[in-house]
Amino acid sequence: MPWVNVGKENSGEIQLYYEDHGSGKPVVLIHGWPLSGASWEKQTPALLNSGFRVITYDRRGFGNSDKPSLGYYYDTFADDLRKLVDKLNLRDFTLVGFSMGGGEVARYLGKYGTKHVNKAVFISAVPPFLLKTDDNPQGAAKEVFDGMKFAIAQDRPAFLSKFLSDFYNVDVLKGKSISDHAVQASWNVAIGASPRGTIDCVTAFGGTDFRKDLERIDIPTLVIHGTDDRIVPFEISGKRTAELVKGSRLLTIDGAPHGLIWTHSEQVNKELLDFLSPMKVEPATVTAK
């Protein structure tokens, strides 16, 4: 399996697992919390079949990557991504971030700029800033994230079960666009993650301010978000991200939950492939039924 070394903890190396398939223009897919690169199962074939090179990787602490006790904050995540980009010598590539992965896209572009990056995509993403503060009254109260961390520490398996039910809006979509088996598969991945990393990532995505990062983005950008997202509500995330990234294109998918890359994969894939095509995409706001 391919690995990239991103640092050390005491006597051990910290290695991230990645997959690199196909040819053509590279597309780097960055997964959400608490899953892994395998969550792009429905996007990877569509991209490969359309002639793109597809790169997925597992964030430190998740999937097949090493599980250190440190480094679970966005400056480090961006550095980890940069090490992968440098190892593969990527040029003219697209960054696609789902949920927590949207934070990596934002911080990478804010920290390293857009050199060699041709486009960016945010799907159900956590930017611009989820935490409620005096200058961010739209955010969620700190107690929300503290409650998540407490519940994870008390009974992580039970927390993940409830979380994934809301992740996919199982009460509404079960038997239509999500099955018990698909939810169980996500739980199986999530339970294999680092317990420490699972908690620390809540602090990261719940408390990191990406507003200045988004304002630096000067490449074509697509924002996709579901109107029924219970995890990262559209009004405090996707809507505001599109407003902060100049010239971005916003697509809302009516009735879609947080985990729309599975439940509404056909719509997501169509919009993603249209955006990645060589033709120029004009800024727009679109609602897909």
CA gap 42, 68 in Å, rounded: 29
Residue type, 193: A
CA gap 272, 261 in Å, rounded: 11
Tell me which residues are annotated as active site: 99, 229, 258
CA gap 4, 164 in Å, rounded: 29
